[in-house]
Structure 1
Amino acid sequence: MVLTPTGLRFLGRRFPCTTGRGGVVADKREGDGGTPVGAHQIVGMLYRPDRIAPPTAWAVPIGPGDLWCDDPAHEDYNLMVRAPHPASHECLRRADPLYDLVILTDWNWPRAIRRRGSAIFLHRWRRPGYPTEGCMAFDPAHLSWIARRITPATRLVVRG
């Protein structure tokens, strides 16, 4: 998968997508809204089992207490954790459909460097052209198509 100025190229197709509100950045920092430059490995996939079928055999269901720690001062920074959790976190099981399907990259993972930015996900967009906090977002049908065809060996290449 390669991010280009006109979208994501993958398996001979191009998919429109949005990136972070801070643009593509070479020096990612927590809260900058940037999508980091690099060759990122796909390290997991999460899905809402109450809303969609598993997109692959290796996808993991998102449970009611699943969270992602985004507190740079906490030892669980940039890791999936369970509720209750004392540090700042994002709920993975959202009321909206944004995280019904989430593809995880290895950005600043598994041993996070403080303030370098937490999780870069591939997920569904709010609407076309609406930026993310640093993730990449897609039309839900396109995200589903991509999810069914990637493997943990797939790389996401973001050029500066």
Structure 2
Amino acid sequence: MKIGIGSDHNGFYLKEDIKKFLAGMEHEIVDYGCSSCDAVDYPDVAFEVAQAISEEKLDRGILICGTGIGVAIAAGKYPGIRAALCHDTYSAERAQLSNAAQIITMGAQIIGTELAKKVVEAYLNVKWAGGSERKVNKIIKKEKEILQQLQ
């Protein structure tokens, strides 16, 4: 699976730990930054990962900031993207199984490294098989309606 990962400066160390974990799982990883603890605005990274998923350059994405909230909001602004904040394995599974979320987000100031690895594993080990399809389709339909109104 081709996975994009990105963080702001608050999530840098957790991102690096997750990258190593993913490499051990033999996934292809694309790092969208940041590359140090120097200040980076989380929307910039979130938009890049969301765009790559929208363009089908990635299968899934993982975004990390201080709380995971900012990157979830930013990625979710990109048309067609469903980003889910996950700090437990059940939510990570349901993000994919019930919501077809292409991106999960986490907060480095909220979750520890070992639990974050379990969350990532839970998210990547399941594939959407149409669960809650009616609800997901309502979200997609509403987004298209809004985008048409804006044109």
Fold shared per TM-score above 0.5: no
Higher strand share: 1
Structure with a larger share of its residues in helix: 2
Identify the structure with bigger relative contact order (alpha carbons < 8 Å, sequence gap 6+).
Answer: 1
